[in-house]
């Protein structure tokens, strides 16, 4: 049987392809870029004030949230990113990126701040040493079956959240459910790293359901 594949170019309201930036200060930004490109997005790595100003959606990678914060502060990018997220820029943060889009960190490193965007408090390295890194099959609201194989690496979880935050997936630890994928308006966050797997459905969900809405 013949199958036809269509490369979809995601478009903004003006009919141009939507410019998606991957914040490339530290972390696994190249993997995110590859996932976005595999979805047909017009994506690029961004690290300067001008580059970040020029994008319409932003992905914040996994890595080390304290380092990404420090670099953003030193390069005077903190307010720019905060304002863009506040202004409704579709944003997706994975792992360290989830920490950076949280309004609050429960146990910040000394002086550590975030960009904010989701009314939640996250706990860094929440799963503890014994389960430092692990993989689970997750049912994620908005993603059709089969389940997503989610990879957690020194991951945060959402400790508390406002009723305006939608929980898309949780992990059960010792009988307690901890949110690991959440969305508030145009901001999406996952504790895990879809960018290091070949499953691009989370990126596709971000591009299709969230970023296209601008």
Interface positions with ligand GLN (CB under 6 A): 62-65, 95-96, 99, 124-125, 153-154
* CA 99 – CA 104 distance, rounded (Å): 8
* CA 83 – CA 80 distance, rounded (Å): 5
Min dist CB 162 to ligand GLN, Å, is: 22
Nearer to ligand GLN, 28 or 56 (CB): 28
Nearer to ligand GLN, 109 or 213 (CB): 109
Max CA pair span of the chain: 60
State the alpha helices, DSSP H only, in the chain.
Answer: 29-38, 49-53, 65-74, 78-86, 96-101, 201-205
Min dist CB 137 to ligand GLN, Å, is: 19
Query: Are β-strands 187-190 and 176-184 bridged in parallel, bridged antiparallel, or unpaired?
Result: antiparallel
Q: Which residues form the catalytic set?
A: 95, 193, 195
Residue 33: strand, helix, or coil: helix
Nearer to ligand GLN, 12 or 78 (CB): 78
Nearer to ligand GLN, 77 or 95 (CB): 95
Min dist CB 77 to ligand GLN, Å, is: 17
State the alpha helices, DSSP H only, in 40-173.
Answer: 49-53, 65-74, 78-86, 96-101
Min dist CB 188 to ligand GLN, Å, is: 15
């Amino acid at each position: 049987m013949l199958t036809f594949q269509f490369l979809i170019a995601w478009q903004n309201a003006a009919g141009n392809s939507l410019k998606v930036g991957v914040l490339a200060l530290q972390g696994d930004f190249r993997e995110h870029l590859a996932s976005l490109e595999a979805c047909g997005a017009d994506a690029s790595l961004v690290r300067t004030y001008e580059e970040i100003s020029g994008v319409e959606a932003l992905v914040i990678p996994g890595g080390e949230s304290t380092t990404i914060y420090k670099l953003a502060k030193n390069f005077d990018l903190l307010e720019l990113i905060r304002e863009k997220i506040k202004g409704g820029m579709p944003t997706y943060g994975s792992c360290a990126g989830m920490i950076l889009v949280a309004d609050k960190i429960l146990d910040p490193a000394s002086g550590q701040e975030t960009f904010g965007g989701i009314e939640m408090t996250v706990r860094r390295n929440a799963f503890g040493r014994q389960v430092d890194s692990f993989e689970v099959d997750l049912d994620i609201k908005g993603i059709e079956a089969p389940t997503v194989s989610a990879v957690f690496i020194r991951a945060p979880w959402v400790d508390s959240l406002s009723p305006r935050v939608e929980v898309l997936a949780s992990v059960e630890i010792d009988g307690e459910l901890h949110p690991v994928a959440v969305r508030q308006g145009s901001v999406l966050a996952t504790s895990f790293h879809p960018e290091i797997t070949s499953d691009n459905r989370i990126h596709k969900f971000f591009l299709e359901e969230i970023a296209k809405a601008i």
